[in-house]
Chain A
């Protein structure tokens, strides 16, 4: 069957389902007894399993299946939710995400998930072996196991030995060793493995038996039960050091699981029937749920490229509309005028619809954060709660795609450097649990995303010290800096304030990358801090990347566009207002000295140069600095579609792009930042 055409849908939907699982699991952690949530997760997992099986991604289906089983136990009240169980489920979801990413990236979605599966199985077997122990295993697995039992069977004596050693602090591991297929001296390798293991601990049992192993009467795999105080990883690594070993796996052994193994063979027959009854159960659950669930809006998925094409076509239409308007004005024909007017109105509506079609709620970025914060807080041994606000704020899809990583970085930063450890927090009389608030909101033509923590705040002295020692600023210079400027140093490249470099943040490449990314999106980032009480990182982003508001200006016969976002105000100045300082013409603008930039000189505009006594000036700013751009005349304010100058041109001085005006001509968009020194 040709499945390629469904692949895209599959990937998108899988991502949705995994995200749903993530969100619901976090919910579940807060309300461990809410079975509705479990049902919700179960349903997502189940759909995912079905889809991946249909698409032929075995590993994916297999892992989901095991996850589902655990969830099933919880759902049926046979297993209660604990942090340990959730951790394993989260781990499984991580693996699933990896696989989906691999598939999306053109991979085959294969991944060694046996480890996680084993953990899931253990949860299940450990708690619930008496009921239906084989539920965990796929039909495939079960059959395979019949041939070569993966869990060894222990007799009374061996069990006593294991139990006793466990009481003394030893851990029993079942180790699975697989030799390479082309291995020639199998017995020799086995001997070497045994030698390695005997150094680590005591071997209780092996399967096949030692005699059989010595006579090479086994395939590629064999199992060993080991009693040791060493860690699982250490065992695995040591065994893998023996050459011609393909892989080895160690799993802690509980006697329950060994018991279950005894029953396994008998129960294997049932396996075939089990999934059927299970699916039946699921459909019933699903039906019940769907009645309860509120009806959500109907949506279809559209490729973003198609939207771009639609947008492009529409822009052409707008240009022609402009021409038509002009012509109808000239002809002054009543009916024509009326029709053109109506067309303009309709196309205006059309434009806003097309624009909103590209808008996506920031939720799509935000909803992966709670999970990340949870994990990181554990790794850092901190207690942190994340409050998310305004996740329904909408942003252009292109911005959404770019903003994820910078936000991750800022969050990590707040968690690592901002929030203190619980004991420190208690010492300062703060609640043990730190709070990070992540909020998004609209304001004018911008969207603000803010990350505020109630941590230690930024120590100005430390920042300055570091900046001086890293050679970013000089000592004298440091005394003249304002608070804001000091905080901005954090985003200078080659800066890291954490005393110890952790792998979470603090590699000194972080914040400057964040800053560049945000600026490349046409946004800005500001930092504020109240030492001892926390810091606030505020990111300002344009609503959309493709449409910007500009001021159109004219120089001789050329038209240019200046983005409104960088304009403070416009002014008309007289010749006598212009002052000279160091060959630089400046004006006194509301008490500040503002350098003038004569655009027709900077851009070498052809023409005679006008002998005007008054000049039109646009005051623009970049951070704290200002400049006055002198132009011939203002045309007006307009919303324009931002276009690139094409690959051929590369970087052009002081020009950030182009736009097409109503008359079909191209106007260049001025990059004010590069005009301000």
Chain B
């Protein structure tokens, strides 16, 4: 598979969580927002931080640190909400910072190594090596699966 598609690139949005870099395909990303007022929704999973008013549309927000069971941190000026859309679901992901759009050659993506740190392996599609950077490619359908 990889060799067949060797010539192709995919465009990704790169964001940071705990000094690690993650990537999601750009076609899933609707917009990137600064942190807005979040209204807490009671009695839902703890990683669902609540809902925001995204230009008239009530949009649920997931804290990716909590989703991946990483240490919590305070939101600061770099914190961003990446609005992603998959199937009919539109959800905002809270990340430490989001600052890059990159072309990743498919050939540089490798299946995930046996140990990828603390992020649950289920969430990961593979790892892309670019120069000295290591991008963790996220499996969006799992990240956005509310039942897990």
Residues of A within 8 A of B (CB): 312-313, 315-316, 319, 558, 602-606, 643-650, 652-655, 658, 660, 664-668
Contact = CB atoms under 8 A, between A and B. Distances in A.
- The CB with the most chain A CB atoms within 10 A, among B50, B55, B56, B57, is that of B56
Nearest to B50: A666
A141 B95 CA distance: 72
Given A643-B58, A658-B51, A668 B41 contact: yes
Contact of B42 (A319, A646, A648, A653): A653
Contacts of B89: 646-648
Given A315-B56, A316-B56, A665-B37, A648 B91 contact: yes
A646 B58 contact: yes
Interface in B42-58: 42-44, 48, 50-53, 55-58
18 contacts: A312-B56, A316-B55, A319-B56, A603-B43, A644-B58, A645-B58, A646-B89, A647-B88, A649-B51, A649-B60, A650-B146, A652-B41, A654-B42, A660-B58, A665-B39, A666-B58, A667-B39, A668-B42
Nearest to B59: A646
B55 to A, nearest CB: 6
Given A316-B56, A605-B42, A666-B51, 13 more contacts: A312-B56, A606-B40, A643-B58, A646-B58, A646-B89, A647-B88, A648-B89, A652-B43, A658-B58, A660-B53, A665-B37, A666-B37, A666-B53
A646 B39 contact: no
Contact of B43 (A648, A653, A667): A653
Contacts of A664: 37, 53
A668 B51 CA distance: 9
Contact of A660 (B42, B56, B146): B56
A606 B51 CA distance: 16
Nearest to A318: B56
Given A650-B146, A658-B51, A666-B51, A645 B56 contact: no
Contacts of B44: 649, 652
B53 A654 contact: no
Contacts of B55: 316
B60 A645 contact: yes
Contacts of A647: 87-90
Nearest to A316: B56
A667 B53 CA distance: 10
A646 B40 contact: no
B144 interface: yes
A638 to B, nearest CB: 16
A555 to B, nearest CB: 10
Interface string B8-51: 00000000000000000000000000000101111110001011
Interface in B106-126: none
A666 B39 contact: yes
A308 B93 CA distance: 27
Nearest to B147: A650
Contacts of A650: 146
Interface residues of B, number: 25
A480 B56 CA distance: 50
**Shortest 7 CB-CB contacts between residues of A and residues of B:** A603-B42, A666-B39, A648-B89, A653-B43, A658-B58, A316-B56, A643-B58
A597 to B, nearest CB: 13
Contacts of A654: 42-43
Contact of B60 (A312, A648, A653, A660): A648
A554 to B, nearest CB: 13
- The CB with the most chain A CB atoms within 10 A, among B37, B55, B89, B146, is that of B55
Contacts of B41: 645, 649, 652, 655, 668
A652 B89 CA distance: 16
B60 A668 contact: no
Contacts of A646: 51, 57-60, 89-91
Contacts of A660: 53, 56, 58
- The CB with the most chain B CB atoms within 10 A, among A315, A648, A658, is that of A648
B71 to A, nearest CB: 20
A261 B28 CA distance: 69
Contacts of A316: 55-56
A293 to B, nearest CB: 43
Interface string B60-103: 10000000000000000000000000011111000000000000
Contacts of A604: 42-43
A665 B90 contact: no
A606 B46 CA distance: 13
A647 B58 CA distance: 10
A644 to B, nearest CB: 7
Contacts of B59: 646
- The CB with the most chain A CB atoms within 10 A, among B43, B44, B51, is that of B51
Given A558-B40, A658-B51, A648 B58 contact: no
A347 to B, nearest CB: 15
Contacts of B37: 664-666
A372 B18 CA distance: 67
Nearest to A653: B43
A345 B8 CA distance: 56
Contact of A665 (B42, B53, B88, B144): B53
- The CB with the most chain A CB atoms within 10 A, among B40, B50, B53, B144, is that of B53
A649 B60 CA distance: 7
B31 to A, nearest CB: 15
A655 B89 CA distance: 19
Nearest to A604: B42
A666 B40 CA distance: 9
A648 B90 contact: yes
A655 B51 CA distance: 13
A428 B144 CA distance: 66
A558 B38 CA distance: 10
B97 to A, nearest CB: 23
A605 B146 CA distance: 23
B148 to A, nearest CB: 13
A548 to B, nearest CB: 15
Contacts of B53: 319, 660, 664-666
B82 to A, nearest CB: 14
Contacts of B91: 646, 648
Contact of B48 (A603, A643, A649, A655): A649
B42 A602 contact: yes
Nearest to A314: B56
A424 to B, nearest CB: 53
Nearest to A599: B42
A583 B40 CA distance: 28
Contacts of A665: 37, 39, 53
